[in-house]
Amino acid sequence: MSDIRFNDVSFAWGDVPLCQQLNVQLRGGTTTVLLGCSGIGKSTLLRLVAGLLSPQQGSISGVSGSVAWMGQQDLLYPWLSVLENVMLAARLQGVKPDRTRALALLAQVKLAEVAQAAPHQLSGGMRQRVALARTLYAQRDVVLMDEPFATLDVMTKLRLQTLTARLLQDKTVLLVTHDPLEACRLADDILLLHGQPLQIERWPVPEGIVPRDIDDLALLQAQSELFSRLNTYEKTV
């Protein structure tokens, strides 16, 4: 799977430069976590990768075709059943939905029994699991996740992190989060965003295979060090 590269990318909102001649390489087939304080530009970078925004200078290479997007809001269509929401990509592409595969994905996220329910009948965590199944159903090589677990309670969050890491392990995933623990559990690479225009610092990830075990002392130590570093950046804003 291709690496994604920012090649001398400059982007500004109006007169405010967000990044200038930014060069960064994101390894294909791995999970890169983007961390940084609020308003630093994480979502803007994701939107540049998705092609929803275009750089004023430079280019982004390595993204061919459309990407999958999963955000904080599940964006399920209320008039479609859970199963129909999962198969949405087929509807949008005008191809025959693969009901068997969609049901298998719902089983993987432990929602097979609510396949015919309406989204409003589900809890927030269940709805995010439907969104995850829908993301997987689309079978994109590049998956962009913008704080997908931010609104969930801690136990649901841990379960969904584990599931996501297992189900997306061969994909090129860019995950935005504010949570150092989430970064340390899920990342193959951690990029810390700071400054204006944006600078990127690569942060060492703890050893071990993703998703890393929550009980691992090395993970907790790494989380604490990462939190301290983030705190120094927050104080400069």
Ligand X SMILES: Nc1ncnc2c1ncn2[C@@H]1O[C@H](COP(=O)(O)OP(=O)(O)OP(=O)(O)O)[C@@H](O)[C@H]1O
The residues that touch ligand X, with contacts defined as CB under 6 A, are: 13, 18, 36, 38-44
| DSSP letter for each residue of 81-115 | -HHHHHTHHHHHHT----HHHHHHHHHHTT-GGGT
| Least CB distance to ligand X at residue 34 (A) | 8
| CB-neighbour burial class of residue 196 (10 A; exposed 0-12, middle 13-18, buried 19+) | middle
Q: Which residue, 106 or 230, has its beta carbon nearer to ligand X? A: 230
User: Which CB atom, from 34 or from 105, has the smaller least distance to ligand X?
Assistant: 34
* Helix, strand and coil percent figures for the chain, each rounded to 5: 40, 25, 40
Residue with smaller CB distance to ligand X, 84 or 182: 182
Which tokens hold the place of 190? 């951690």
Burial class (CB in 10 A: 0-12, 13-18, 19+), 220: middle
Could you tell me the smallest distance in angstroms from the CB atom of residue 8 to ligand X? 19
User: Minimum distance between the CB of residue 76 and ligand X, rounded to whole angstroms?
Assistant: 21
Cβ-based nearer residue to ligand X, 67 or 219: 67
User: Token pair of 49, please?
Assistant: 């990768």
Q: Which is nearer to ligand X, 43 or 169 (CB)?
A: 43
Contact 188, 32 (CB under 8 A): yes
CB of 181 to ligand X, least distance (A): 17
Closest contact distance (angstroms) between CB of 147 and ligand X is 7
